[in-house]
Amino acid sequence: MSVLSKLKETLACLKAGRVTLPYPAQPLHAPERFRGRPIFDATKCTGCGGCANVCPAREILLFDKSQEIRVLEYLGRRCTYCGRCADVCPEKAVTMSHEFENATNSIGDINQRIELFMSTCQRCGRCFKEPAALDQLKMKGYRFDDVEQERWVFRSESYFENEPVVDDIKIEWD
């Protein structure tokens, strides 16, 4: 009886085949919605400090090195990859990547540091990035004013070079 049951078990095990992943030899991709290491895009960053404000682990540091240079430093040691920095970023400069292979022998390998030029306010002396955020909003789209009726059109949906200008334009009247 015992031999028979063991044979059955052997058969069941053989049927399953090989399930072990050949992982470190072959790359393995994380699922679509996996949040890995956040990546800071320095070209998009305006230095507003929203990510530093909202980080629950307080791992994004922000300090003004001088009157005109603002340093943003992501240390990432105790980052829990919650994605709140990517959520709050107005310029979408923070993206949660799929990187999970972050194992290192020195903890300093996972930090990211951005230095940005800022302008100083004439009144309060604090840094801000020029041009001002309101001006940037206007500059995003083509100006496509209605000349015949002499009205401004503030916003258009297409502003990349490859996209057609006129076809999918959505006009919002002032």
Partner 1 sequence: MLKSLCQKMFGRSLWVYHANSGGCNGCDIEVLNVLTPYYDAERFGIKLVGSPRHADVMLCQGPAMRSTAKALQRAYDAMPAPKIVFAIGSCACGGGIWFDSYSVLGPVEKLVPVNFYIPGCPPRPEAIIYGVAVALGLVDKKTAPVQFKQIELPIPRYHPEHLLGREELVVYEKVEKV
* Residues in touch with partner 1 (CB under 8 A): 19-21, 23-24, 28, 30, 34, 40, 42, 56-57, 59, 75-81, 99-117, 130-131
Distance of CA 90 to the CA centre of its chain: 10
6 CB neighbour count, 10 Å cutoff: 10
Q: Which is nearer to partner 1, 98 or 155 (CB)?
A: 98
3-state SS assignment for residue 153: strand
Task: Say if CB 135 and CB 100 are below 8 A apart.
Answer: no
Least CB distance to partner 1 at residue 172 (A): 28
Least CB distance to partner 1 at residue 146 (A): 29
Q: Which is nearer to partner 1, 50 or 76 (CB)?
A: 76
Place of tokens 């069941």: 12
138/71 Cα distance (integer angstroms): 27
Q: Which is nearer to partner 1, 55 or 156 (CB)?
A: 55
For 127, phi then psi, to 5°, come to: -80, 145
Least CB distance to partner 1 at residue 163 (A): 24
Q: Which is nearer to partner 1, 18 or 170 (CB)?
A: 18
Least CB distance to partner 1 at residue 98 (A): 10
